[in-house]
Structure 1
Amino acid sequence: MRDSVPRAVIWPPLEFRDPARLELALTHASFDGRRNNERYELLGDAALSLAVAQELLARLPDASEGELSRRRAWVVSQPVLAAAAVELDLAARARIGAGVDRAHLPARMLASLYEAVLGAIQEDRGHEAVAAFVRATLRGPLETACAERFELDPKQELQEWAQARSLGLPRYVLLAEDGSPHTRSFQVAVEVAGARHPAAWGRTRKEAERFAAREALLRVAATPATDGDAVR
């Protein structure tokens, strides 16, 4: 959302009956250590889980509990919620401390803003409004999660991870080709924000790119959080 949008509106046509609830949902603890969005974040987390579960149950009537849980876990994951927060431009509207870089908020903080907004919607308009907001702002992830063969592409996952951190799009570099024309293999590495991750081989270039993306995801998952990532 842009600054020209009325403060009581978070996503047309959703307008808060009490604009103070939205303001509180967008107030990070770094701005106000006492009156901030942490309570709304707790409520929003629960409301989100329920809304996504209801949506998956309606769309996938034959799916098992385990299958539904796996798909729901991805929809409510930090990278997905952070990407939704970016689409809503929540960082531009959030009240955050002077020491936090608004242009490069960590995924954890972006996701918490999204959940806090859901908590405020729950309190202001009720669960039906939450469900409508989730369907609209997580439309793409819900469609992906409801696909007949749900298998998250590591390239998509890496792209969401990078975009949530304002690192730009990953760049795939072909390093080598080997073998005869009928049994060729390809070596590819992926670069994110100029940093190259371990290369991977594949039977096709696309397969090598997927394997390289998976290597990058494993590497970033094993990397300790930076000071910026530690902000909640």
Structure 2
Amino acid sequence: MLQHSFRNPDLLREALTHASVADSRLASNERMEFLGDAVLELVICEHLYHRFPNYLEGDLTKIKSAVVSGTTCAVVARESGLTALLHTGKGVAGQSMPASLAAAVYESVVAAIYLDGGLDAARQFVMRTLGPHIDAIASGVDSHNYKAVLQQYAQKNLKTAPVYELLDEKGPDHSKCFEVCVVLDGRRFSSAWGPNKKSAEQKAAMLALRELGIISGADAPRDTGHRHGPRS
């Protein structure tokens, strides 16, 4: 199940002991949960940093937050059978266990493995149990991050990166609109307007993905704001 042979079984015993049955809270897995949360974030952040080299900090943060969320950790704890091993008071066990407790036992076990076998051992456990969820979560988080999708496509298939050209800007300083287009591998795509450069770039990337046939109109929001300048 854990695929880790503990040199100090007391660490695992503590990780699987809920405060409701411990002699004291210090003897429960609460401190383990605290440490495991930090180890888990380190492992996932390092993995995402290398797995998605073209993603900006904000993109990576969104994926990380979803991967290490209590919901995901609870699912993994149940999948790996950890919830059945947690020692709790009566009325809290198995599938009836609250998600918060299930997530806590997962983080506690991560900490126990880290303390017993070091970071490499903890990393192996995390990637074996959480790893299969990462790409699915990343796909969901980034489904409308058109710049990231276009960047990946361009680097993988064209060995280059898209360039975002600012074509025009209109309106007073407090309410400007910006027109941006994508230039990729010598090809200029349809332009898009947005209330700020970031929004205009996302819309321009969406249009480029459409014209490349990577996404369809159904994959994008209806109100794209393209082909139209700011309202007068």
Same fold? TM cut 0.5:
yes
Correspondence 1:135-174 to 2 at 5 A: 135-147=127-139, 150-151=142-143
Correspondence 1:130-209 to 2 at 5 A: 130-147=122-139, 150-151=142-143
- Percent identity over the alignment is 38
User: Comparing both chains, which one has the higher relative contact order based on Cα–Cα distances under 8 Å and sequence gaps of 6 or more?
Assistant: 1
Show the counterpart of 1:71: 63
Normalization by structure 2: what TM-score?
0.58
Provide closer, same or farther for how the CA distance between residues 109 and 149 of structure 1 changes in structure 2, counting only shifts above 3 A.
closer
Show the counterpart of 1:107: 99
Provide closer, same or farther for how the CA distance between residues 37 and 141 of structure 1 changes in structure 2, counting only shifts above 3 A.
same
Query: How large is the Cα RMSD of the aligned pairs?
Result: 2.0
Per the alignment, in what secondary structure is the counterpart of residue 15 of structure 1?
coil
CA distance in 1, matches of 2:134, 2:74: 15
Kept after mapping to 2: 8 A contact 1:57/1:68: yes
Q: Structure 1 residue runs of 4+, over 4 Å off?
A: none
Q: Deviations over 1:105-142 (max 9, x none)?
A: 00000000000001111111111111111110012221
The runs of 5 or more residues in structure 2 that have no matched partner are 145-217, 219-232
Does residue 111 of structure 2 align to residue 119 of structure 1?
yes
Alignment coverage as a number of residue pairs: 143
Kept after mapping to 2: 8 A contact 1:59/1:146: no
CA distance in 2, matches of 1:37, 1:17: 18
Provide closer, same or farther for how the CA distance between residues 141 and 52 of structure 1 changes in structure 2, counting only shifts above 3 A.
same
Normalization by structure 1: what TM-score?
0.58
CA-CA distance at 1:149 after TM superposition: 6.7
Show the counterpart of 1:159: none
Provide closer, same or farther for how the CA distance between residues 149 and 106 of structure 1 changes in structure 2, counting only shifts above 3 A.
closer
